Amino acid sequence: MKPLTRSRRSLISAQGLVGFLILWEVSLRAGLLPGSLVPLPSSIPGVLWAELIDGIWFEVVLSSLSHYSVGVALGSLLGISVGVAAALVPRFDALHAWLARLLRPIPPLAWIPFAIIWFGVNPSAAAFIISIGVFWINYFASYSAVRAVDPGYNEVAIAFGQGHFLARLTKVSLPAAAPGILGGLRAGLGQGWMTVVAAELFGIPGIGQRMMEASGLLATDIVVVYMLTIAGLYALFDFIFMAIQRRILRWQP
């Protein structure tokens, strides 16, 4: 089949989305779907507006953003540092290999009991839980990216007097592994949003808590407003990240 032009592709995608919304709206109005379980799409903008002028929207989004950013920053930084170190220092790799294998399958949310015991029910606990998922993604991405660097580059570095550890780290390992490391960072940005909501479900103020409140009142429209809020924030962060990534990797053909 013929490939589509870019604008044509966007047009069809927009049609698909609008078609879905119309189908949804019509099914509800026709009584095919129960109105108590699913909100009307056309009611969403009004509800969003109400949340906005109430100030609730800003309050919960800011609160979520604050643990999100702390958790993602911490998890990424640690994940990349440990992953790169493990890939470069065989002794360190061996030292923590079994420990990593033991801890890695534990889902971030399984840390909630400890998070509460260590930090209490407060934003630090949420940031801690978010950082765990983000850590593993960045750890594995940067570990395998650095391991995959062509050893020939290291030989070049040594041949041209850049053989000591720090020079090789900054002049070979990090730039050569940058595509993989950035891929991990990006996946971590997404993973962070997944845990942010879950981490807030146990009472830390933020988007997740607001959604739980709303679902208790069967206010499905408010739930959808925050689902869309997360989607929108994710898209925004991803867009900004991609712009930065393109700049960093502009050497790629």
Partner 1 sequence: MATVSVAAPAVLHARDISLGFGDDTILAGVDLEVRPQEFVAVVGASGVGKSTLLRALTGLLPPQRGEVEIPRGEATDTRAWSMVFQAPRLFPWRRVRANVELGLEGLALSRAERRRRALEPLALVGLEEFAERWPSTLSGGQQQRVGIARALAVKPKVLFMDEPFSALDAITRRHLQGELADLRQRTEAAIVFVTHDIEEAVLLADRVMVLGGKRGDTPAGVIDVVEVDLPLTARREHAEFANRVQAIEHLIGPGPAAAAT
Question: Among 232, 191, 249, 223, which residue's Cα sits nearest to residue 51?
Answer: 223
Query: Tokens representing 47?
Result: 């509800």
Whichever of 54 and 155 has its CB closer to partner 1, that residue is 155
Whichever of 175 and 190 has its CB closer to partner 1, that residue is 175
Its sign, for the CA torsion 64, 70, 73, 79, is negative
Collapsing DSSP to helix, strand or coil, 229 comes out as: helix
Task: Give me the least distance between CB of 109 and partner 1, in Å please.
Answer: 38
Whichever of 55 and 253 has its CB closer to partner 1, that residue is 253
Whichever of 119 and 153 has its CB closer to partner 1, that residue is 153
Task: Give me the least distance between CB of 175 and partner 1, in Å please.
Answer: 4
Q: Find out whether 186 and 245 touch, Cβ atoms under 8 Å.
A: yes
Q: Which helix (H) or strand (E) holds 115?
A: helix 112-119
Question: What's the CA gap between 214 and 230, in Å, rounded?
Answer: 16
Task: Give me the least distance between CB of 191 and partner 1, in Å please.
Answer: 27
Task: Give me the least distance between CB of 89 and partner 1, in Å please.
Answer: 21
Q: Using CB under 8 A as the criterion, which residues of the chain lie in contact with partner 1 when the complex forms?
A: 152-153, 155-162, 167, 171-172, 175-176, 178, 250-253
